[in-house]
Chains A and B, each alone.
Chain A
């Protein structure tokens, strides 16, 4: 009977589609989890670089004690956050460290002896590279989460998502209110550079 064969074929195609869509959601979840672990991994790498930086620059930057204190605190936060495994804590601790680094960089740039030191240049390169790595690890979490969440709500994959009850994933939480969504008056002005 050709009709039964046709119906059978349609059912087979439908089953294959449901299975592959289900697999997409499950593997996406696993990949997002791995990507979040990668952020922690890179943050830890960044934190581990700091003691080296401190020991090779401390002798020169005796009057910049505040910076070193900030660096040490940020480093301890990262270690705690990575241990807790909480994405949001990791992101916060990473941001705290990222805010200290520019002032540290300026201090190094201002010191001709440090600027010329190959060890310090190398460490600063590593630091920049690690913060890039953290940025890209975060980007991956965001991209994977978008992919997952879009497939979850769009037809026809939303049918499978509904069938197996896949819930929306938060990815990286950035507060929707707060400083970063506002532009202060000073920021709207063109910056003046004195030469």
Chain B
């Protein structure tokens, strides 16, 4: 048995370590790739110009998605605002859990879909949105729903939308730079005098161009899975009832319907992986590498240990 405070701080520590590792890796790849590109373009000093350009481009692309993440949900087909009388349990549990976690009440939406899922988004707690499917609200009891909502509220409290957007920008930058380097037309540049050093940088750059986008994505998914464990632990520290979330996860995992409104960019924000493809049923660390969410079995095991 683990104390909920210990679980929370151990989760924070692990999450911090992964993020530091990610930052280091991305920094190294971006540096190497821009050095190689800079060399290729005959644009020697530092190569920061190339890196800066890649960062700005990929940043602009992702920033829109991040900054307007709460309004984008409105464009998802069929999402309607929740109503206190019609969706009494959903509305009031969110109100209650916001009292407990000292957050402003997020805007609430419902997707009319029989799939059972819920997600949270928005750039900060003031612009947060929680969205649940009508299937989820129909199938879960109030206690189970509390567990799920508390999970989403923890995502909001931990600024997970912000974190995952920054991570996505960085992964995008690495992929963009790698792409440029691989698409570059390779002609002889023998006139260069710093021959061997430049060749090594180019070679390293090509190796990184091939490998680093994949590795960066794996780390991105590892961060996403770690944040899920954090949100589960956070849910228990708000409700103090692991049983509610466990029962909800079991119910949700029995439902194999994919959610049409989900896409790859928002998958990490849902309570369980919204795609529910065949891959999630296979076990083992290799299958796990490709998932935004840890397997439900592992999540339940972790919840069972909490007191």
Interface residues of A (CB under 8 A from B): 31, 35, 38, 42, 125, 129, 132-133, 136-137, 139-140, 143-144
B99 & A137 in contact (Cβ 8 Å cutoff):
yes
B-side binding surface: helix, strand, loop or mixed? helix
- Residues of A near B238 (CB, < 8 A) are 139
Q: Count B interface residues, CB 8 Å.
A: 12
Shortest Cβ-Cβ A-B pairs, 8 listed: A136-B100, A129-B92, A136-B99, A136-B96, A139-B100, A132-B96, A133-B96, A137-B99
Q: Which of B92, B93, B95, B97 has the most CB of A within 10 A?
A: B92
B92 & A136 in contact (Cβ 8 Å cutoff):
no
- Residues of B near A31 (CB, < 8 A) are 102
Interface residues of B (CB under 8 A from A): 88, 92-93, 95-97, 99-102, 238, 240
- Give the distance in Å from the alpha carbon of A144 to the alpha carbon of B100 in the complex: 10
B96 & A35 in contact (Cβ 8 Å cutoff):
no
- Residues of B near A35 (CB, < 8 A) are 102
- Residues of B near A139 (CB, < 8 A) are 100, 238, 240
B102 & A133 in contact (Cβ 8 Å cutoff):
no
Contact residue among B99, B101, B240 (Cβ-Cβ distance under 8 Å from A133): B99
> In whole Å, how far is A121's beta carbon from the nearest beta carbon of chain B?
10
> In whole Å, how far is B307's beta carbon from the nearest beta carbon of chain A?
16
> In whole Å, how far is A134's beta carbon from the nearest beta carbon of chain B?
9
Given contacts A139-B238, A144-B102, 13 further A-B contacts (CB under 8 A): A129-B88, A129-B96, A132-B92, A132-B93, A132-B96, A133-B96, A133-B99, A137-B99, A139-B100, A139-B240, A140-B99, A140-B101, A140-B102
- Give the distance in Å from the alpha carbon of A139 to the alpha carbon of B97 in the complex: 10
- Give the distance in Å from the alpha carbon of A178 to the alpha carbon of B95 in the complex: 33
Residue in chain B with minimal CB distance to A38: B99
Residue in chain B with minimal CB distance to A142: B100
- Residues of B near A125 (CB, < 8 A) are 88
- Residues of A near B92 (CB, < 8 A) are 129, 132
